[in-house]
């Protein structure tokens, strides 16, 4: 059993990409992953009510039906790639190294690949 497989089996699932993590810690969660930083930024600008419609719009603009997708993945959080604001809120754009993907058979290890995701920043009034 590889260390990645063991880490995936021990990872505690989360509902969204929002909890803080330590460096190189494998996390799991449901969220949107995009191929590029620009696609993630565009998605944040479109996220007002219907996330699926926003994903379709970004994918149509990229002429790639899989440019952005909603998925349950195991990932390692990487570098912050930017911040963007929209009517839906303020988001950090973050690189993630995806190491596992949820399938009908559960969380399965995957060839590591870098994507970009959005983490909503909770803003509080002063």
d(CA 84, CA 120): 10
pLDDT at 14: 29
pLDDT at 48: 81
pLDDT in tens, 100-118: 999 999 889 999 999 999 9
Cα-based angle 5, 7, 22 (whole degrees, multiple of 5): 145
pLDDT at 89: 87
Query: What number is the average pLDDT over the span 35-47?
Result: 94
pLDDT in tens, 42-93: 999 998 878 899 999 999 999 999 999 999 999 999 999 999 988 888 999 9
**pLDDT of 1 higher than 90:** no
pTM over 0.95: no
pLDDT at 104: 92
d(CA 13, CA 30): 9
């Amino acid at each position: 059993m590889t260390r990645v497989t063991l880490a995936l089996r021990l990872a505690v699932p989360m509902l969204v990409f929002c909890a803080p993590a330590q460096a190189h810690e494998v996390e799991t969660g449901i969220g949107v992953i995009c191929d590029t930083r620009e696609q993630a930024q565009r998605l944040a600008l479109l996220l007002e009510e219907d996330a699926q419609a926003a994903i379709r719009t970004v994918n149509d603009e990229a002429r790639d039906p899989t440019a952005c997708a909603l998925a349950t993945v195991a990932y390692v959080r990487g570098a912050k790639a930017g911040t963007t604001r929209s009517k839906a809120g303020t988001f950090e754009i973050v690189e993630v190294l995806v190491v596992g993907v949820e399938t009908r058979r559960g969380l399965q290890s995957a060839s590591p690949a870098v994507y970009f995701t959005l983490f909503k920043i909770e803003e509080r009034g002063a």
